[in-house]
Structure 1
Amino acid sequence: MWDEFTLPIVQCSSLSKLFEQLEDVLIVSFDIWVFSFAEKYVIEFYHEGDITIGIIDE
């Protein structure tokens, strides 16, 4: 999910696939969020270089 609402949300099959193309993903937008509701985590890539990982608690 991108910080720009006009961009489509992209789905990938695994986190490893995302990391294989991470540079291409990060170049699209300044801030992105990666969600996995199945594995219950969220990762935020912030434009200043910070990466935050959170656990989804239902």
Structure 2
Amino acid sequence: MFDFDQYLGFLAFLTILTLGFWLMIFLLTFVIPYWIGGALIERLKEMREEKKAKRQNS
């Protein structure tokens, strides 16, 4: 059915496909939400500091 080199190519294709699939799952479930959450927290801190500075100047 397959020659040995075709079999190795097919295994390499499946390995790369599987690695890409799990990388996308990891990025979508952990990295991107962590990045967005961190950006929101930093923005809230900046907004609090702006309010605090505005109150002190008034």
What TM bracket, shorter-length normalisation? Answer: under 0.3
**Structure with a larger share of its residues in strand:** 1
Query: TM-score, with normalisation over the residues of structure 1?
Result: 0.21
**Structure with a larger share of its residues in helix:** 2
Bigger-Rg structure (1/2): 2
Name which structure has the greater RCO, CA cutoff 8 Å, separation 6+.
1
Query: TM-score, with normalisation over the residues of structure 2?
Result: 0.21
